[in-house]
Structure 1
């Protein structure tokens, strides 16, 4: 019996180790295939690199003199600085994210095993570990919200065990992860108030709301060069709009266009919609709310990283919903009421969750593991690495979006072409500023895994070619090497690593 308990206690950690291998393998392989991007992996690496050198996180990719703490509030990134100091590479961030996402399975599986039995432990581990929200995060660079996922999972486990003070203490650091997560802390407080834990509940509710207001109204404007919160108008419909008016219109507009409704259903689908039977699901409302009310369509979709923080919430809610049918619930065969249908209901629910995870698997990023081209190195990637090796350490470089993360650790790199106005990510009509770097490395091939239209970003292909020609005719760059749609340029008068001008075929 003691051995069995030890094995069962180790099972969540075994799942965490297995999921870490999956997440790390996929994310690092994507990086090797040039499928990571400057926006966002390069940005976060520049911030962590600055922290590792005991500097504030000024990020050249976001613009000259831009402090990333004034963009989003995520001082938690400084925790990665010692690790990056030892291993200065983009892979360090990707592996850290893989570890954080995998760690979240431990409290969820442990709670499920304790409340529902061994089968539930494994079912919840599979459901969370292969969920599309985690898959989309693993397959899109690195993001600070990875820290929030295990924090929420451990907090919700404590909540499920009735350890309310511990649940709040584990959720308070969410304020240091991203500014909107203070509202999730507030939602936790509201839940506790509803459960009758008024003292700790009101403390969390007020702390979350006040923390969010201080961060968005004071700290972010103070750290932002424009003295504003850059994303404050995301739920505003124009100069005359307001967050209040948008919220009042929410019942009519929140689920239009249809992609919002699809995403909303998919958020709860990994739990076979069981999460909707638990009030814990209400903790998802702050994140779902700002996403559905946002004016930017990429917030409505299933791509990117925006659903990562929702996955521990919906699986915690599913565990809570199934608890009455578990080993110690009032409707369980071993509980106060002998109900033979309870075990059947529990088994059917767990089997459905596993089935949903497996059915959705090919439609999202974990399906890449099964594709042969994920494990092959194309000639284009080999050509890119040859040109990247021509750029010396310590140089200044302007590079195409998917080449940026290959350079951050050893150069000072910005995006090519640059933006007309810093922060206006989708302005394709203005004229980009002139390049000032020593080197330009441009890739005319579309990004094979980029979810935006046609794979070219931030400008259409013809605009990028125009800027490449302008760099040569107007600003004195000359071609050093070309290969398979890649062009390496250098300013006259500087030393060219690797010899004379070449063309690689």
Structure 2
């Protein structure tokens, strides 16, 4: 009983550690003017619109093209919208995502630690997971529902491994509701269950995944065809793309087998490879193939970049591969992995973190605008009412997006009148004031160019339209 209490106490501390790390870093990034219209600004506005029941009202940030459910048919925006009504702030979304990522990490550790008795080993594995570049990058990459609710995908696979099928399928369907492309995750789930000899479950989930993707993508395609924008080089439409290995094999395999694909796979496997055992990893590795193929074959580089959220569904199966490897221990009281293997895992985690995480942004970008951030934070509170019409500079529009309409393009200044126009002032490149800044600038080649140069033209247009502007670092313009 005491051991169980200590284990739960350790997991609670671990969850709070991950939550604090992810939330504070993502808050600091947003506070430092580093979040963007795509995607935090969009999801902030979509959350507001969903909260008032306007799921099909197009976002003004997309020039009135995409509504909330027309982007990726994320049904989870509906409950997110209700939460946003209670706490209308972009920080609410960032905290929600941080809490979800922390829960994803803690669920993985809880399952893995069932095979460990050594507290020292647990600590090393926890530190290694905290340094996982894909988790860290996703917490710093604005907001995405499939990242915030990725723990549902892991929970679905965990309960499948426990043979609690109904609970597993409920979690799976909830996760698929985060984004239409998570139907590929469901296909992976189907393959995983097939290799674990759950044939009927596999067939049912495969049928559901294919039907759901066909249904949801038909809605999304009315606003943007991802088949043509990301896979158009392989064919016209999803059916033609799926047939391309047979119709155009040379073209298909040249897109798959290349140096970039090798580096991508190497980066994915490096953090967890020391925890893998053969052949226990086979079901999860086979299951992740549809997701990996979708990323590798995309014409969009962002789907292979460790910076963006597309690696999170892949990461879930890589975690399960480690859990399956841990299950092959002979005794529940023995350590699954040797201390040398765990140390190698920690070393590889450090290497992956240093190579794939944008850690250099902290001493450069994230500290770049700290003088601007406090006044922007105050203006964000002062003009938070959705009844105020706002035009905001692209770099700060996400701070004011909790409203039915918000604009950031210069052409809108000529077409519409706004209650508030807000933009950073031109920030001249300042000479370093101390040795630490000089060293930083030397290492990162930072601080050489003026920023927000377009603000001069923005303010010129605003004054010509009759706005009166004031402010030194953040300029606010109003019509009196």
**TM-score between both structures, scaled by the size of structure 1:** 0.77
Name the counterpart of 2:391: 398
Which protein has the bigger helix share? 2
Identify which range, 281-290 or 121-130, moves more after superposition. 121-130
Q: Following the alignment from structure 2 to structure 1, what is the Cα–Cα distance between the partners of residues 150 and 408? A: 30
Counterpart check, 1:18 vs 2:17: yes
Name the counterpart of 2:431: none
Q: Following the alignment from structure 1 to structure 2, what is the Cα–Cα distance between the partners of residues 412 and 73? A: 21
Q: Following the alignment from structure 2 to structure 1, what is the Cα–Cα distance between the partners of residues 277 and 410? A: 46
Per-residue CA deviation, residues 450-488 of structure 1 (Å, 9 max, x unaligned), is: xxxx99xxxx978x4696378359x7254513535x554
Q: Cα distance, 1:128 vs. partner?
A: 3.2
SS at match of 1:398: strand
Number of positions where the alignment pairs a residue of Structure 1 with one of Structure 2: 446
Q: Cα distance, 1:162 vs. partner?
A: 4.0
CA contact (8 A) 2:275 2:337 kept: no
Give the alignment's Cα RMSD to 1 decimal. 3.5
SS at match of 1:395: coil
Gapped runs of 5+ residues in structure 1?
A: 335-342, 419-431, 447-453, 496-505
Q: Following the alignment from structure 1 to structure 2, what is the Cα–Cα distance between the partners of residues 80 and 189? A: 28
Q: Following the alignment from structure 1 to structure 2, what is the Cα–Cα distance between the partners of residues 199 and 97? A: 34
Name the counterpart of 1:286: 290
CA contact (8 A) 2:101 2:135 kept: yes
Name the counterpart of 1:266: 267
Name the counterpart of 1:360: 352
Q: Following the alignment from structure 2 to structure 1, what is the Cα–Cα distance between the partners of residues 139 and 253? A: 32
Name the counterpart of 1:94: 94
CA contact (8 A) 2:116 2:336 kept: no
Q: Following the alignment from structure 1 to structure 2, what is the Cα–Cα distance between the partners of residues 353 and 317? A: 14
Counterpart check, 1:220 vs 2:220: yes
Name the counterpart of 1:339: none
Q: Following the alignment from structure 2 to structure 1, what is the Cα–Cα distance between the partners of residues 112 and 11? A: 10
Q: Following the alignment from structure 2 to structure 1, what is the Cα–Cα distance between the partners of residues 185 and 382? A: 47
Q: Cα distance, 1:216 vs. partner?
A: 0.9
Name the counterpart of 2:472: 483
1:348 maps to which of 321, 340, 352: 340
Q: Following the alignment from structure 1 to structure 2, what is the Cα–Cα distance between the partners of residues 320 and 392? A: 48
Q: Following the alignment from structure 2 to structure 1, what is the Cα–Cα distance between the partners of residues 108 and 260? A: 29
CA contact (8 A) 1:133 1:307 kept: yes
Name the counterpart of 1:198: 199
Name the counterpart of 2:231: 235
Name the counterpart of 1:414: 407
Q: Cα distance, 1:151 vs. partner?
A: 0.9
SS at match of 1:196: coil
CA contact (8 A) 1:12 1:125 kept: no
Q: Cα distance, 1:22 vs. partner?
A: 0.8
SS at match of 1:310: helix
Name the counterpart of 1:468: 458
Call closer, same or farther: CA 1:7–1:194 in 2, change over 3 Å: same
Name the counterpart of 1:74: 74
Call closer, same or farther: CA 1:284–1:344 in 2, change over 3 Å: closer
SS at match of 1:318: helix
Call closer, same or farther: CA 1:75–1:389 in 2, change over 3 Å: closer
Name the counterpart of 1:503: none
Q: Following the alignment from structure 2 to structure 1, what is the Cα–Cα distance between the partners of residues 404 and 71? A: 23
Q: Cα distance, 1:27 vs. partner?
A: 0.9
Name the counterpart of 1:300: 304
2:256 maps to which of 254, 257, 267: 254
Identify which range, 193-202 or 344-353, moves more after superposition. 344-353
Q: Following the alignment from structure 1 to structure 2, what is the Cα–Cα distance between the partners of residues 392 and 187? A: 42
Q: Cα distance, 1:311 vs. partner?
A: 2.2
Name the counterpart of 1:313: 317
CA contact (8 A) 1:398 1:417 kept: no
Call closer, same or farther: CA 1:307–1:239 in 2, change over 3 Å: closer
CA contact (8 A) 1:131 1:311 kept: no
SS at match of 2:150: helix
CA contact (8 A) 2:187 2:290 kept: no
